[in-house]
Structure 1
Amino acid sequence: MTHAQHSIPARRGTATRLGAGEAIRIINTHGAQVVDTWAFSADDMGEFMSMEHIRPTLGRIFPTAGDALVSNRRRPILMFEEDTSPGRHDTLIAACDDYRYGLLGCTEYHDNCTDNLHAALRQLGLTSPETPSPLNLWMNIPVDADGRTSWGEPLSKPGDHVVLRAVMDCIVAMSACPQDILPINGAACVPTEAHFEIVGR
């Protein structure tokens, strides 16, 4: 069965509704693009996928296929069902915002994942009172033995994908990260588009 493929434009965000049991396939089309990913309960935008709650639930910082991704109320909201990449995804780093780019030396407005999230939700007529920390798909943040972090390049390759299955009715939002100063989106520092498909039950 073929599924309609939708674009996550470079440097922009999008959001979609998932019914319980439906799944979304998020595709790293060009291989080195980080996709910040959020999930909110369709019944209450105050309940959302929470990295702070996922880390102690899993006992590690990298979610893998088979893991339940829990909300800030410690309930599974998505199942991490499939991953064709080397499995390096980040749960530590907050979504970039205009303040972050100011600290990196930008003197004018810079596209960012925080604004992309809220713009994507507005397209569905929704608002979120805060910006939860995202699941940063394919973002490679090495952590050394002393706990120091660094900015690595993605280990993914073109066409790698993950499948996330909704445990509850939810809204999934995604941002093709606009980072073009650090090598978060590869050594070339050029953000690219990604894609997603609704897989169904």
Structure 2
Amino acid sequence: MTTEGRTVVPACEGRAVRVAAGQRVSVVDLEGGQVGDVFAFVPAPEGAGAAPEHLSAAHTRGATNRLFPEVGQQFVTDRRRPVLTLVADTSPGWHDMLIPACDPARYAALGAGAHASCADNLKRALAETGLSVPFTPQPVNVFMRIPVQDDGRLRWLPSASRPGDAITFQAVTDCVVVVSACPQDLVEINGGAPTSLAIDLRS
């Protein structure tokens, strides 16, 4: 498991990294226009047998009073404890915490057959760390452009991130961060052609 350096997340796949408290973890859009589903987990103490505590978009919105935190604000878990702090963002700033991770049911509803999904990517990436969760938490959808209109409707727009754009978090506590390079190619969030992301981990 990477302790420092770059982990490439190939298009339509997911990867997990262990992040120590105080380390910084960046999600980098390598080619531009690519959405990443970001999850974070705080494993239960060894032998506890409990599901990992997880980053919660809903609890974070309640803590920050925003649809997405500002630089300097924290993401919190389902137990309302801080797990990540947003420390930098070189992208245009469009990120989403409303839309759930894509899953096989989503693609079936769109008329697709077997299709990669962020929910499945999460399970596979977590399994490589020895962790599992009984459900798919709400992700932090970095670089995803879902504006809320005055009438309350949501618009699904192509990502506006550029090659090399990055969003950076600092771990408040030891955690496992999972990033899925979203495979969605049936709506325009990735411009119809998913590409790779990278996870940069540094002290």
- 1:190 matched to 2:196: no
Q: Which residue of 1 aligns with 2:56?
A: 50
TM-score, structure 1 length as denominator?
Answer: 0.94
* TM-score (normalizing by structure 2): 0.93
Distance 2:30 2:159 in 1: 13
Within 1, Cα distance between the matches of 2:52 and 2:7?
Answer: 27
Secondary structure at the counterpart of residue 52 of structure 1? helix
Partner of 2:107: 101
The answer to whether the aligner puts 1:25 opposite 2:31 as a matched pair is no
Question: Quick check: 2:43–2:52 contact (8 Å CA) kept in 1?
Answer: no
Task: Name stretches of at least 5 consecutive residues in structure 2 with no aligned partner.
Answer: 45-49
Contact 1:62–1:87, Cα closer than 8 Å, also in 2? no
Tell me the CA shift for residue 36 of structure 1: 0.1
Q: What is the CA–CA distance in structure 1 between the aligned matches of 2:186 and 2:121, rounded to whole Å?
A: 18
Q: Distance in 1 between matches of 2:5 and 2:171?
A: 18
Q: Which residue of 1 aligns with 2:175?
A: 170
Show structure 1 runs of 5+ residues with no match.
Answer: none
Residue in 2 aligned with 1:84? Answer: 90
Q: SS of the counterpart of 1:116?
A: helix
| Amino-acid identity (%) | 44
Give the partner amino acid of 2:95: H
Write the distance in 1 (CA, Å) between the matches of 2:202 and 2:55.
20
Q: Secondary structure at the match of 1:40?
A: strand
Cα-Cα RMSD:
1.1
Regions of 4+ moved over 4 Å: none
* TM-superposition CA deviations, 1:37-61 (whole Å, max 9, x none): 0000033643110011111211111
Tell me the matched-pair count: 195
SS in structure 2 opposite 1:191? coil
